Structure 1
Amino acid sequence: MTHPAGEAPPLDLLYSDTEEDLRSAVRALLADRAGPQAVLARIEGGSPYLPGLWEALAGGIGVAGLLVPEHLGGQGASHREAAVVLEELGRAVTPAPYLTSAVVATETLLALGPERGGSGGPDGPAAELLAGLADGGTVAVLAVPLSTGPDANTDANTDTDTDAVGPVPAVADAIAADVLLVPRADGLYGVPAADARITPQVPLDLTRPLAVVDTDGVTGIRLADPAAAGSAVRRGLLAGAGLLASEQLGLAAWCLEETVRHTKERHQFNRPIGSFQALKHRMAQLWLELVGARAVARAAADALATGAPDAALTVAVAQTYCAKVAVHAAEECVQLHGGIGMTWEHPAHLALKRAMSSRTALGSPGRHQDTIAALMDLPAPR
């Protein structure tokens, strides 16, 4: 179906057959390789990443290259398919650098083409990096704090000297990176992670490790000038924030499903606790919130996929809503599981910690609300 010039295609919130097939493949793999007990067994070690899982996801199924054009070695898919993958990763609270590498870093590099992300795509070192990212052989991470939103000034803490960049705290998945994308005052640089000083931090969410990254004295390869670097980083962070909503959606969906299952099986006074009206109302409220979260998360993925002019607004709305829904669903999951939900052995705490940490990732809900107000020209209350 064609659309008049300058007219955006209609919003499509439904899942295609291809997306559902992709979901099934990812869910089956995670059920086999990344179940709750496998994740719990890894998170207290030096690295939470499950051996062989990234290779199976990125190379076996090919999800790492979904956003990369075919002529650069990728799948040539869109943000809609990537959103489905993130839904499933969120459901399983999977320790994997998908959001940071296959979305944020990939989208940043894609924006460095001669046409700023046009059909030609990037060339030179950026194209070589993308080829490595597409097959999962290389993991790249944008060296900015996890809390950095799409509207942030990413070179605010850099020095004008190319070789002098201060330590950057709270960089997600830096310990898994092969290449760091480092924004500096004079452009964007690709720095081998082995040449940087990476100091792990203790995060709230042990399934998404954080680290302090120091590239002081490491030059790396210059990928873009300051103007191109700024717009590319913003595009990468925008895509990350928009698709993080899908991860939060998947997490909230698992929390509700697990809570419903538990309340059907748990009996008190010789009846399932899920039959008590007060608990029914709480779960019904969660379901309503989940329906809204699915709508805005799908809208954000579709807006990014189609390059909609209001993509920034749609992403801000999705993050403002989905971050809160994920936290509420995780809190209810812990509470309605009773004493079991408070134990380390039950995975409910993994969902709660991921939801709480994701609430401030790639811009807090308050920051996104400010973005909505600015884009809609809404004056602040007096």
Structure 2
Amino acid sequence: MTRTPPAAEPDLLYSDDEEALRAAVRSLLADRCDPATVLASAESGRPYDAELWRALAGEIGAAGLLVPERLGGQGAGPRETAVVLEELGRAVAPVPYLTSAVLAVTALLGCDTARPETAEPLAALAAGRTTGALAVPLTTAPGAAAPPTVRADATGALTGRITSVADAAGAGLLLVPARGPDGDPALYAVDAAADGVRTEPVTPLDLTRPLAHVVLDGAPGRLLAVGDRALAAVDRALLTGAGLLASEQLGLAEWCLAETVRYTRERTQFGRPVGSFQALKHRMAALWLDIASARATARNAADALAADSPDAPVAVAVAQAYGAPVAVRAAEECLQLHGGIGMTWEHPLHLYLKRAKSDELALGTPGRHREALAGPVGLAGPVGSAGPAGA
């Protein structure tokens, strides 16, 4: 009898190369993405900080971490990408990294990369010459994509509307799931500047990650994949995005805790720093433990994606089900322990709270991920009113 070899143990630690990448990204963000700059960018109405994006993508090469070297990328993987997202979450950086360098790139990698229709946009995204967006609602969870709302005719012209697409307004390339002329699922590439393409900006909760409705009226599309391959490419992108989003949430939570500790050391009441009060110490200690656990789940998801583990869907669902609420709680505790100053527009804290709440909805809510987790780990879901009598 052939025995299945045991799966490799997950590696939750950071390598020296990953720490070097972190240092480079953190240094860049310290120079070009301080809180005042983020607040100004949020108020400006620009789709993203173009100068910061050029530095991140061009000078550091972070946009091409998931792209193989033969296709113009850095040939790294999800673990390194997760480190970048940690730092971007720590700075609530207004750049389309998750949507372009993760979602759009992963969707393209799921297509035939030997074709120029796939290889050329991949190289452009990896170099940061353009940005891309996977044209699905931001709330779409892995394995739960709704039937496409766009149809393609025999010439590849696309017609339809997709709501609440993250970073679509500033994207140069749209990857659009659609129904082909025969009704089969398909994935098309569409130039955002082409005739028949219109984006309708909507007011998002998180001003650093703009949303827009995408309207296509006979827009010319280039076919990338059809049938099961198209479905698999989109679902892999959503799974990778959800798994790596946990690292962004981790970085956000870590900033909130560090800022809370700093502030409570400096703020005094009754002649003592408020951070010396036992009740506040307990709250911050509990949050530290939650964040430590969230770090483990986020690193496990990134490692599973990097190893292409069959357990990756479970690791991603755990990371989102646990880590998303932790990020929200960290931001809420940060706000409460800052008191009145945390409610002001001048303080960047509100950006973190809004990003945390937005991320909690992005790529599947915690409840949706818990539901998805029940089957693979062998847990029965809750029995509804239509369940067995007496259950």
Q: With structure 1 as the length reference, what TM-score do the two structures score?
A: 0.95
Aligned-partner Cα distance in 1 for 2:313–2:77: 17
Aligned-partner Cα distance in 1 for 2:284–2:253: 12
Other-structure match for 1:117: none
Amino acid of the residue matched to residue 163 of structure 1? A
User: What is the CA RMSD across the aligned residues, in angstroms?
Assistant: 1.4
Q: Alpha-carbon deviations, 1:168-224, whole Å to 9, x = none?
A: 111000112000000001211000011210111100000000001012211311111
Q: Is this contact kept in 1: 2:47–2:169, CA < 8 A?
A: no
Aligned-partner Cα distance in 2 for 1:281–1:164: 56
Q: Alpha-carbon deviations, 1:99-151, whole Å to 9, x = none?
A: 000001101111113xxxxxxx5432111111111111121110000001111
Other-structure match for 2:380: 379
Q: Which residue, out of 171, 175, 178, partners 1:184?
A: 178
Q: Which residue, out of 116, 135, 155, partners 2:147?
A: 155
Aligned-partner Cα distance in 2 for 1:238–1:138: 23
Q: Is this contact kept in 2: 1:144–1:154, CA < 8 A?
A: no
Other-structure match for 1:169: 163
Alignment map for 1:104-253 (pairs within 5 Å): 104-113=103-112, 121-159=113-151, 161=153, 163-186=157-180, 187-195=186-194, 196-253=197-254
Other-structure match for 1:268: 269
Other-structure match for 1:47: 46
Aligned-partner Cα distance in 1 for 2:89–2:58: 20
Aligned-partner Cα distance in 2 for 1:54–1:350: 19
Q: Is this contact kept in 2: 1:34–1:50, CA < 8 A?
A: no
Q: What secondary structure sits across from 1:175 in the alignment? A: coil
Aligned-partner Cα distance in 1 for 2:47–2:346: 16
The structure-2 alpha-carbon separation of the partners of 1:219 and 1:22, relative to structure 1 and needing over 3 Å to count, comes to same
Higher alpha-carbon deviation: 81-90 or 155-164:
155-164
Q: What secondary structure sits across from 1:102 in the alignment? A: helix
Q: What secondary structure sits across from 1:217 in the alignment? A: strand
Other-structure match for 1:333: 334
Aligned-partner Cα distance in 1 for 2:40–2:4: 54
Amino acid of the residue matched to residue 348 of structure 2? P
1:362 aligns with 2:366: no
Aligned-partner Cα distance in 1 for 2:341–2:118: 49
Aligned-partner Cα distance in 2 for 1:54–1:324: 28
Aligned-partner Cα distance in 2 for 1:214–1:248: 30
Amino acid of the residue matched to residue 241 of structure 1? A
Other-structure match for 2:281: 280
Q: Alpha-carbon deviations, 1:74-104, whole Å to 9, x = none?
A: 1100100000000000000001010000001
Amino acid of the residue matched to residue 366 of structure 2? P
Q: Identity rate of aligned residues, in percent?
A: 61
Aligned-partner Cα distance in 2 for 1:200–1:143: 14
Aligned-partner Cα distance in 2 for 1:11–1:306: 9
Q: What secondary structure sits across from 1:234 in the alignment? A: helix
Other-structure match for 2:299: 298
The structure-2 alpha-carbon separation of the partners of 1:273 and 1:65, relative to structure 1 and needing over 3 Å to count, comes to same
Amino acid of the residue matched to residue 294 of structure 2? A
Q: What secondary structure sits across from 2:23 in the alignment? A: helix
Aligned-partner Cα distance in 1 for 2:171–2:122: 14
1:61 aligns with 2:50: no
The structure-2 alpha-carbon separation of the partners of 1:69 and 1:164, relative to structure 1 and needing over 3 Å to count, comes to closer
Other-structure match for 1:118: none
Q: What secondary structure sits across from 2:213 in the alignment? A: strand
Q: Structure 2 stretches of 5 or more lacking a match? A: 181-185, 384-391
Higher strand residue share: 2
Aligned-partner Cα distance in 1 for 2:358–2:39: 17
Aligned-partner Cα distance in 1 for 2:179–2:5: 35
Q: With structure 2 as the length reference, what TM-score do the two structures score?
A: 0.92
Pairs aligned (count)? 372
Q: Structure 1 stretches of 5 or more lacking a match? A: 114-120
Aligned-partner Cα distance in 1 for 2:33–2:287: 26
Aligned-partner Cα distance in 1 for 2:346–2:32: 18
Other-structure match for 2:386: none
Q: What secondary structure sits across from 1:338 in the alignment? A: helix
Higher alpha-carbon deviation: 254-263 or 216-225:
216-225
Q: Is this contact kept in 1: 2:169–2:201, CA < 8 A?
A: yes
Q: What secondary structure sits across from 2:254 in the alignment? A: helix
Aligned-partner Cα distance in 2 for 1:122–1:359: 36
Other-structure match for 1:116: none
Aligned-partner Cα distance in 1 for 2:147–2:118: 20
Q: Alpha-carbon deviations, 1:20-76, whole Å to 9, x = none?
A: 010010011011001100011121222152241100000100000000001111110
